[in-house]
Amino acid sequence: MLQALQTLVVLAAAPLYAGLISRAEAVVQSKHGPSIWQPYRDLSKLLGKGRVISEHATVVFRWAPYVAMACFLLVSTIVPIITAQPLPLAFLADLIGGAFVLGLASFVLSLAALDTGSPLGGLGASRTTWIGSLAEPALILVFFTVGVLSASDNPYLMNHALAGSPAALALPTHVLGAVAFFMLLLAETGRIPIDNPAGTIEISMIEEPRVLEYSGRDYALIKWGGWIKLFLLSSIFMNVFVLPWGLGSATGLGSGLLGIAALGGKLLLCGAAIVIIDSSFAKLRFFRIAEYLGGAFLLALIGIVTSYVIGK
């Protein structure tokens, strides 16, 4: 029951979260900006439209949006979003497994971009894969930093370990890991220091060129998947790294609903942080991205080594 509720919350609230962030960014820049319901309007418009598929496209291109969406939904079943007790399906994977599933989604989209043979798609696929290959080791190290504190790589147990000992939140290892994870969150979801989510200039796009060939309901699924990814990573960041409290227990629906309210509050904080970074930094030059991700890697590495010096 809660399992279904959690996935439904992720599906329903992810566009709202994206809409809130883009509206807040517009307000910060003294613009009126789109309504916070704009992502829903986009979705319903795209879902109602027919699709155009290149005659050279193969089955890879046709199936990629569905596989990617399935990956995002799978991750939404295994991480703590609204409850602190492991859900029935949570045994499927730990955080590293979750990262692999997200990696699979990205891989499938890159394959689809290569499939039609459009030059821009190949460009996007190569750029995204390059960034992903640099972000992945850092991400695994970040999971190790929480791992040494909670002696586990299961997100629920990490959450429990932190909620049980708030002093651990001030440990250097944890602080470094949290900062590194936030840097990677921005990289993985294509936010400002890496990529401009509102950018319309094809030559500077990093993730967008991969999906320019899609239309209609396929494009809707891909858009939706991107918002779900942002939503999921933000909730993992808040629930596992920053504020491990306020999650419901697995016993009843009521506590799950309370958990949704708490999640809303936490995501507002995380969204505010993203908006501040989006509006105060410029996009990095492409070859500086390696240094940015190297910085995240370094933070996580120092965090881990520090844990051996300072202790838990």
Partner 1 sequence: MQSLSAASVPGVILDLDAVLILLSAFACLGSKLFDRYLAYYGAQSVLLAVAAGTVAFVQHSPALWILAGLTLLLKGLGIPLAARHLLVRRLQLKRDAGLAAGLSFSLIVGAALCTFAYLVAGQRTLAVGLVATAVVPLSTAVVLLGALTMVVRRHAVAQLIGWLIMENGVFLGAIVLTASFPFIVEAGILFDVIAAVLIMLAMVSGLAQQLGETGTSEMRGLAE
Which is closer to partner 1, CB of 140 or CB of 258? 140
DSSP 246: -
The residues of the shown chain that bind partner 1, judged by CB under 8 A, are 167, 170-172, 175-176, 290-291, 294-295, 298-299, 301-302, 305-306, 308-311
Nearest distance from C-beta of residue 26 to partner 1, angstroms: 32
Round to whole Å and give the CA distance between 300 and 304: 6
Nearest one of 259, 202, 262, 269 to 237, comparing CA atoms: 269
Phi and psi for 83 in degrees, rounded to 5? -125, 155
For residues 60 and 112, is the Cβ–Cβ distance under 8 A?
Answer: yes
Lookup: tokens for 304: 């881990």
Question: Could you tell me which residues are beta bridge partners of residue 248?
Answer: 83
Alpha helices in the chain (DSSP H): 2-28, 38-47, 59-78, 95-115, 119-150, 155-164, 172-188, 216-236, 253-280, 289-310
Which is closer to partner 1, CB of 21 or CB of 304? 304
Nearest distance from C-beta of residue 299 to partner 1, angstroms: 8
Which is closer to partner 1, CB of 112 or CB of 299? 299
Helix (H, G, I), strand (E, B) or coil at 248: strand
Which is closer to partner 1, CB of 164 or CB of 294? 294
Round to whole Å and give the CA distance between 2 and 252: 8
Which is closer to partner 1, CB of 158 or CB of 299? 299
Nearest distance from C-beta of residue 189 to partner 1, angstroms: 23
Nearest distance from C-beta of residue 311 to partner 1, angstroms: 6
Nearest distance from C-beta of residue 137 to partner 1, angstroms: 12
Helix (H, G, I), strand (E, B) or coil at 83: strand
Which amino acid type is present at position 186? L
Which is closer to partner 1, CB of 167 or CB of 203? 167
Nearest distance from C-beta of residue 141 to partner 1, angstroms: 11
